[in-house]
Amino acid sequence: MGKRLLIFGPPGAGKGTHAARLASDLGIPYLATGDMLRAAIASGSAAGREAEKYIRLGELVPDHVVIALLEERLTLPDAADGFLLDGFPRTVAQAERLARRLASRGEHLDGVVALEADEDVLVARLSGRFICPRCGRTYNRLLRPPRAEGVCDACGASLTQRPDDTVAAVRHRLREHRAKTEALMAFFRSVGWPVRSVPSVGEVDEVYGRIRKVAEA
């Protein structure tokens, strides 16, 4: 039986890095609303066109857009028996929607893995992040630099930065996250979703080990 899990934490806490690995190790699909929105933008769909202006500014995309995308994804057969959600819920309205969906199907959430890190660490991590637009590999100027600056080791393409990874957009995203976190945590507690905090500091494998342990608890 697969688990239904959320990975929660501020932008830059390492959700993307660890969550894909965790989902694969647990044999459940990895559902990241940020990825879904970027795919919608790339496809030129109506949802993508609406989302783009918010993402560019580091603002949250309106609930109805994100909820529609996620609900569509959750109806695919691979998510019937478990999933790892990354980046959702980000508002109480989104969390309520998820709780209602689970309750109506007689399902429950197994746990929330909450990653924690200091703001300065988060800003340095995110504003140093670069992505290869051709093969998708990610780099970090501080933590995982490419061999030649600005060039993908794997395929040689020029690296790009996400528009919402500039220092100004990152600070804005962190403020948004902080403003929403308290209410979300209170909601998680009120519906009995177990929240397990994990410090996201130290070596990548060390942090992953902590995450795996609480996810399997």
Catalytic residues: 15, 90, 129, 162, 173
- Residue 9 Cβ vs ligand AMP, minimum distance, rounded to whole Å: 10
DSSP 34-68: HHHHHHHHHHT-HHHHHHHHHHHHTPPPPHHHHHH
Considering beta carbons, is residue 28 or 70 the nearer one to ligand AMP?
70
For 125-161, give one letter per residue: b (16+ CB within 10 A) or e. bbbbbbbbeeeebebbbeeeebeeeeebeeeeeebee
Considering beta carbons, is residue 26 or 165 the nearer one to ligand AMP?
165
Name 6's bridge partners.
Answer: 85, 112
Which residue in the shown chain puts its C-beta closest to ligand AMP?
34
- Cβ neighbors of 183 (< 8 A, separation 6 or more) are 92
Helix locations, 58-166, DSSP H: 63-74, 92-104, 119-127
- Cβ neighbors of 72 (< 8 A, separation 6 or more) are none
Q: How many helices (H) and strands (E) does the chain have?
A: 8, 7
Considering beta carbons, is residue 49 or 213 the nearer one to ligand AMP?
49
User: What's the token pair of residue 6?
Assistant: 């959320």
Closest CA to 14 of 145, 116, 166: 116
Considering beta carbons, is residue 26 or 32 the nearer one to ligand AMP?
32
| Dist. CA 37–CA 50, nearest whole Å | 10
- Residue 162 Cβ vs ligand AMP, minimum distance, rounded to whole Å: 8
Considering beta carbons, is residue 4 or 90 the nearer one to ligand AMP?
90
Q: Which residues contact ligand AMP (rule: CB under 6 A)? A: 11, 33-34, 37, 54-55, 58-61, 66, 87-88, 90, 94, 164, 173
